[in-house]
A and B are shown apart, each in its own frame.
Chain A
Amino acid sequence: AQKITQTQPGMFVQEKEAVTLDCTYDTSDQSYGLFWYKQPSSGEMIFLIYQGSYDEQNATEGRYSLNFQKARKSANLVISASQLGDSAMYFCAMREKGGTYKYIFGTGTRLKVLA
């Protein structure tokens, strides 16, 4: 069965430093998609970055990059130059197989950026 695991319930990082949020996944599919979302205290889920299983390059979007290690089945999110506004809950998700377009979500990591 497909599964997403986020082992860090909470993380602290000093402002302007980089932080890595872990995500491992389990799937038997050859084609799959991995997503990261940010949920600030307001509740909205903000799409950050996408990595396709066939993408040879690690995805990057501004200060966000995805460290994709296919053999290890990991898709860690790296946030560079952390800002106070990065304090939020972060969810890793994988698109389910079977054409339903549903996502499997991890349990999330709460990031706190310290001034």
Chain B
Amino acid sequence: GAVVSQHPSWVICKSGTSVKIECRSLDFQATTMFWYRQFPKQSLMLMATSNEGSKATYEQGVEKDKFLINHASLTLSTLTVTSAHPEDSSFYICSARLGTGDFPRSTDTQYFGPGTRLTVL
């Protein structure tokens, strides 16, 4: 259980084009999903929190107009990199939150997708 898929797994695009990445929770509903970016040999950097039915919450320094996030349903969030440039080349990974139990013993585990490697030429 708790499987998250991400599509595409890799994409190469030309500078100036837009790329859409999909993140789906396959066997559970997720009101909250997260989008991360990871540079080689580094930890994950949170870009934004995606909430079903409302606007995404972006981390400081992340351009919301460049990285458009839509959480249209309880199982799907999309990240669109608009007007991509070579500096946007990176590994993008999403996660979906699965919460169980009641406070204070509740767990909120993030289950991650396999990631998308974006290369902008």
Please report A residues at the B interface, Cβ cutoff 8 Å.
30-31, 33, 35, 37, 42-47, 50, 52-55, 91, 95, 100-103, 105-108
Contacts and interface: CB of A to CB of B under 8 A. Distances in A.
Contacts of A30: 104
A102 B114 contact: no
Contact of A31 (B2, B104, B112, B117): B104
Contact of B43 (A91, A95, A101): A91
B43 A45 contact: no
A86 to B, nearest CB: 18
Nearest to A6: B43
B51 to A, nearest CB: 10
13 contacts: A43-B114, A44-B114, A52-B107, A54-B104, A100-B57, A101-B32, A101-B49, A101-B110, A103-B34, A103-B46, A106-B43, A107-B43, A108-B43
B17 interface: no
Contacts of A42: 114
Interface residues of B, number: 28
Contact of B105 (A45, A47, A54, A91): A54
A35 B115 CA distance: 19
B34 to A, nearest CB: 7
Contacts of B99: 101
B91 A43 contact: yes
Looking at chain B's contact residues, the main secondary structure is strand
Interface string B91-121: 1010101010001110111111111010000
A32 to B, nearest CB: 9
A44 B115 CA distance: 6
B109 A47 contact: yes
B44 interface: yes
Contacts of B32: 101
Nearest to A44: B114
A45 B107 contact: no
B58 to A, nearest CB: 12
A95 B108 CA distance: 8
Interface string B31-68: 01010001000111010010000000100000000000
Contacts of A37: 112
A35 B109 contact: yes
